Amino acid sequence: MADGHTITIEQGTRSVRVVHEGQVLAESTRPLLLRETGYPVRYYIPAEDVRMDLLTESDTHSHCPFKGTASYWSLPDAPDLVWAYPDPKPEVARIKDHLCFFQVETL
């Protein structure tokens, strides 16, 4: 990556759970751990392990020069709570079909 910026992705070995206001939004035994220069570790959870039926796609998009364009999903009381890269850059292709939450609990 450019200017010393690095991103590594590895298969997680611990189960993770995402809970908001007592509601389990995601639970997975197969998260990907994405480590990026200047950011905390992010857990990318396979879409099949996320309660997509509880989330509403938002109009928000953001662009990362290293990962691509992100799309966001919300809860009624938590806008843009989760994001994903539907068409990630080739260097981070493993995160395709995975979603990332701001708050993740490791089990």
pLDDT value of position 18? 95
pLDDT value of position 107? 67
Total structural domains within the chain: 1
55 contact partners, CB below 8 Å, separation of at least 6: 25, 73, 74, 75, 81, 82
Backbone angles phi, psi at 53, to 5 degrees: -65, -20
Domain span at residue 55 reads 2-106
pLDDT value of position 64? 96
pLDDT value of position 104? 81
Residues of the chain with pLDDT under 70: 1-2, 107
CATH number of the domain within which 32 lies: 2.170.150.40
Q: Is-above-0.85 flag for pTM? A: yes
Check if the beta carbon of residue 27 is closer than 8 Å to that of residue 20.
Answer: no
pLDDT value of position 76? 93
